[in-house]
Amino acid sequence: MMNSSLGSVDATQNYYRYNNTSDSYKYKEEINLSQLGWILWTSITLITCCIGFVGNGYIVWLLGFQINRNCFTTFILNLAIADFGYLASVFIYSIPPFTDFQGSGIFYIFWIYFIHMMYISANFLLTAISIDRCVVVLFPIWHRCSRPKHLSSTVCILLWTSSFLLSGIMSIMKIFGNYSLLNFHFLVTAVVCLPLITLSTVILFIQVCLKLKQKNQGRLLLMILITLLCFLILAFPLSVFAVISSFSSSEADDQLEHWVMCSILFSCLNSSINPVIYFLVGRKKGAQSKESMKVILQKVFKEGEATGGG
């Protein structure tokens, strides 16, 4: 049913069985426990995506139209866009099995490509955010005085372009060359992003433990640290299982199937949880008045502007 993470999934395969004699698909009258589990797991994934739509969409609206952007919020805005796009792609890709719609191969290839592009963009952007915060901690004077004004925008453009080209090349090779390399970009993100994010997480963890005097800076570092930890726990396993399944045998692949589905759910949860982290870390403890999300974001991101990100 699922050879690898969204790479070679035939979405209709969960409801239909192929008949070699008549070259047609027949609807299964009896739904076994495996199919019920798939329906339940997919339903939870769709609900998670819907929740993530609201959260990331609200962040995009606030940072895009309501709050003045700086070097740091530019990264957060692009990360929210990537997360929103990833959740939307997974949601649309998962809908057809619950309907009578039988899309063509091009339909599924397009959405698989879009899922991969958004996933790798979110990985690259989170890596850039982690590096940026480490530079603030380790080289604050340079970040405040010598950092190029449009560096964040330039980096975001380069990262989006890289993810677009990487996913495009893999899809083209699959369509025209029949090369099963759709999971290659998962390996790239694992090799490139994991070491950098892990190192950044360790550095930020040390800084948070030191209890920095500036409360705003401490809250911002804590927010990024929690975001990075959630990525390592929830999102990164998707890359691991995608790489493993691409090199596994058919028997082992069947055993990995449910783990891959779990990792897809966890990656959707990771893309949905960031706005919750911003809100919980940004608000003041014991505050009687209920602050709006806009006010909370303005306060927690104020440190980015204070460090030269205006």
What the block records as the tokens of 210 is: 């030191």
The predicted pLDDT at position 236 comes to 76
| Range picked from 177-181, 206-210, 257-261, 287-291 for highest mean pLDDT | 206-210
The predicted pLDDT at position 191 comes to 81
Does residue 171 register a pLDDT over 90?
no
Does residue 211 register a pLDDT over 70?
no
What the block records as the tokens of 46 is: 């769709």
Per residue in 71-109, pLDDT (tens digit) is 888 999 999 999 999 999 999 888 877 776 666 667 777
Identity of the amino acid at 101: F
Q: How far apart are the first and last CA of the chain?
A: 50
Distance between CA atoms of residues 54 and 49, nearest Å? 9
Closest CA relative to residue 90, chosen from 61, 111, 106, 68: 111
The percentage of residues in the chain with a pLDDT greater than 90, rounded to a whole number, is 22
Taking residue 145's Cβ as centre, other Cβ atoms within 10 Å add up to: 8
Per residue in 101-133, pLDDT (tens digit) is 666 667 777 778 888 889 889 999 999 999 998
Domains of the chain, CATH where assigned? 26-281+291-306 (1.20.1070.10)
Distance between CA atoms of residues 2 and 268, nearest Å? 17
H/E element, 129: helix 105-138
Of residues 273 and 147, the one with the higher pLDDT is: 273
Question: By the 8 A CB rule, do 42 and 97 touch?
Answer: yes
The predicted pLDDT at position 2 comes to 38
Taking residue 33's Cβ as centre, other Cβ atoms within 10 Å add up to: 7
Q: Which residues lie below 8 Å from residue 208, measured CB to CB, with a gap of 6+?
A: 218, 221, 222, 225
Distance between CA atoms of residues 109 and 27, nearest Å? 23
Q: How many residues belong to the chain?
A: 310
Q: Which residues lie below 8 Å from residue 221, measured CB to CB, with a gap of 6+?
A: 133, 137, 204, 207, 208, 212
**pTM of the entire structure?**
0.81
What the block records as the tokens of 156 is: 């975001």
Distance between CA atoms of residues 310 and 87, nearest Å? 30
Exposure string over 260-289, b if 16+ CB within 10 A, otherwise e? bbebbbbbbbbbbbbbebbbebbbeeeeee
Per residue in 36-75, pLDDT (tens digit) is 777 888 889 899 999 999 999 999 999 988 888 888 889 9
